[in-house]
Amino acid sequence: MLSHRYFMKIGITFLSIVVLYTLLPGCKSGSTNPPNVAKPILEFSSDTINFGTVTSGASKSQNLSITNFGTASITIQSVNPNSSASPYSVTGVPVTIAPNSSKTIVVMLTSTTVGAYVEKFNVATDADSVFHFYAQDTVASYVNDPVVYSFVVFGCNRVAKGDFSTTANPSSANLPQLNRTFADIAALTPKPDFIFDMGDLVVGEADSLSLANELIAWEALYEASPAKAAGIELVAITGNHETEDGNGTPQLSAEQAWLSIMAPYTTRGGNGPVPHAGDPDALQSDQSKLTYSFNFKDAHFVVISTDPAGQDSHPPGNWLANDITTAHANSSIKHIFAFGHKPAYSYNGSTSNSLGAYPSNLSLFWNAMETSKAEAMFAAHNHTYRAFRPDGKSWMVISGNAGSALETTAPLFYGFTLVQVLQSGTVVEKNYGRNFGALYNGLSDPATYPTTLRDSNVISWK
């Protein structure tokens, strides 16, 4: 969730209303059945409402429908803009919404000064939950700011080991959620340029033959997917379940199995580090196609294997720092994005679930990110979604809620994250999610569990 307050002018053509909400936690980590507790579940009718261009001095309104799909009533007590002098207002509140019912509120724009505006609305309820949506508009004159390129990130789609059947589902993926995600991504407009799958695609953590069989089955799923048919390039990244054995030790044999089977999705690799005399990262295996970087348009993408052979949670920090610093010195590079399975910083501050297990190595990497004004690191491993700035600079975006059983005290929804780079240079991160039924790996009907926008952040450096 965004926690900062802002009201700023930007040059764009449309009014977006972005719905963000916090779901009530209540599912223990690894649990397949959420507790049977009556609670409201709110969803908003639209992610984006286009007001168009509004003439200065004129007014315009749009309706926003709010549906309660839960089992308990909820009262929206107030909807207030962050800014004290806002051109936006809302009518229709307070309002109580019964289970399986909808109510409509009205968002009103009374245009004043020529320019473009962004406003955050704070939605308070009687369930001690806080929701947000955002409004944008342009008054009189505006500058078009289209998407130049975009990419999708997600990770952690494997089922729990106890739910894995080599005969019924040899891929070990949470099939209902993976298929939904592939279909949702294929339907995005404009079409993303890349999908970065950030590891734990399969259960793995076994011998290399078992790992290979799972990866082969997973590859078949992707090749038959709408995302593949749409021509979106997949960049596959190892997670600890792909590189480690049952004891949690990354193995050379697992890396070799990965590189052999997933070769079609590592074609951007090749420039990464290799063991050599005096290597400050003390690598034990060739990482050139596991940790590497490439340029695309005005961006530098850094792919990281966070668990190289023999070095759990210890990626090559020296190589990463040098690569990121070098990219920043290139005047043609305007954006830097890093991708890895384990996050630099975990969603709950735990060092055991992040690269913080080796603080000095983490510092090498993160200091280079911040010094080079890298927008963000995208990661998974934590089975949840969260976007935050550890030091108020570069963003840490965890998108590990692709299908594995969710974390305790985390938002209970599955989905993916879309990142869009606009013509102005603004970078926007949007998280999309869907609810699910009694079983985390059960059927996921789009009509029952629609995918909606859950969070949005501008992650550009100011």
Please give the pLDDT value at position 7.
Answer: 32
Q: What is the pLDDT of residue 55?
A: 63
Residue range 421-457, pLDDT digits in tens: 999 899 999 999 999 999 999 999 999 999 998 988 8
pLDDT at 258 over 90: yes
Token pair for residue 402?
A: 């692709």
Mean pLDDT of 364-385: 98
Q: Residue 330: what pLDDT?
A: 98
Whether residue 319 contacts residue 281, with contact meaning beta carbons closer than 8 Å, is answered with yes
State the DSSP string of 198-266.
Answer: -S--S---S-HHHHHHHHHHHHHHHHTSHHHHTTPEEEE---HHHHB-TTS-B-HHHHHHHHHHSGGG-
* SS3 state of residue 367: helix
The answer to whether the bond into 280 is cis (omega within 30° of 0) is: no
What per-residue string of b and e applies to 65-103 under the rule 16 or more CB within 10 Å gives b? ebbbbbeeebebeebebbbeebbbbbeebeeebeeeeeb
Tell me how far apart the alpha carbons of residues 299 and 357 are, in angstroms, rounded to a whole number: 29
Rg (CA), the chain: 22
- pLDDT grade, residue 86 (50/70/90)? confident
Per-residue pLDDT at 132 exceeds 80: no
The count of other CB atoms within 10 Å of the CB of residue 14 is 17
Is the CB of residue 323 less than 8 Å from the CB of residue 182?
A: no
Please tell me the predicted confidence (pLDDT) of residue 36.
62
Instruction: Express each pLDDT in 14-48 by its tens digit.
Output: 333 333 333 333 333 333 444 567 888 888 876 65
pLDDT tens digits for range 303-330: 999 999 999 999 999 999 999 999 999 9
The closest of 369, 263, 245, 368 to 307, measured between CA atoms, is 245
The two most distant CA atoms of the chain are separated, in Å, by 70
Calpha distance 129→151 (Å, rounded) = 31
Q: What does the DSSP 8-state code read for residue 321?
A: H
| Structure confidence at residue 21 (pLDDT) | 34
Q: pLDDT value at position 89?
A: 84
Does the pLDDT value for residue 231 go beyond 80?
yes
Lowest-pLDDT range, 51-65, 132-146, 215-229, 343-357? 132-146
The SS3 assignment for 364 reads helix
> Given this model, what pLDDT does residue 15 score?
32
Handedness of CA 108, 188, 397, 371 (dihedral sign): negative
Which range (64-78, 182-196, 230-244, 390-404) has the least confidence?
64-78
Please report which confidence band the pLDDT of residue 135 belongs to, taking 50, 70 and 90 as the band edges: confident
Phi, psi of 175 (to 5 degrees): -60, -45
Instruction: Tell me what the mean pLDDT of segment 1-7 comes to.
Output: 34
Q: Mean pLDDT in the chain?
A: 87
> What pLDDT, on a 0 to 100 scale, did the predictor assign at position 252?
97
Q: Is the CB of residue 402 less than 8 Å from the CB of residue 181? A: yes
Sorted by where each begins, the domain ranges of the chain are 18-139, 147-458
Beta-strand relationship, 95-97 and 53-54: unpaired
> What pLDDT score was predicted for residue 128?
76
Judged by DSSP in three states, 353 sits in helix
pLDDT beyond 80 at 133 = no
Domain 18-139 has CATH 2.60.40.10: yes
Task: Choose the weakest-confidence range: 64-78, 89-103, 109-123, 333-347.
Answer: 109-123
pLDDT, average across residues 75-81:
89
Closest CA to 315 of 293, 294, 330: 293
Q: Strand 233-236's sheet: what is its strand order?
A: 233-236, 194-197, 147-154, 414-422, 427-434, 452-458
Give the contacts of 210 (CB within 8 A, at least 6 positions apart).
204
- Extended strands (E) in 1-129: 18-21, 42-44, 53-54, 59-68, 74-81, 88-91, 95-97, 101-110, 115-125
- CATH superfamily ID and name for 147-458: Metallo-dependent phosphatases (3.60.21.10)
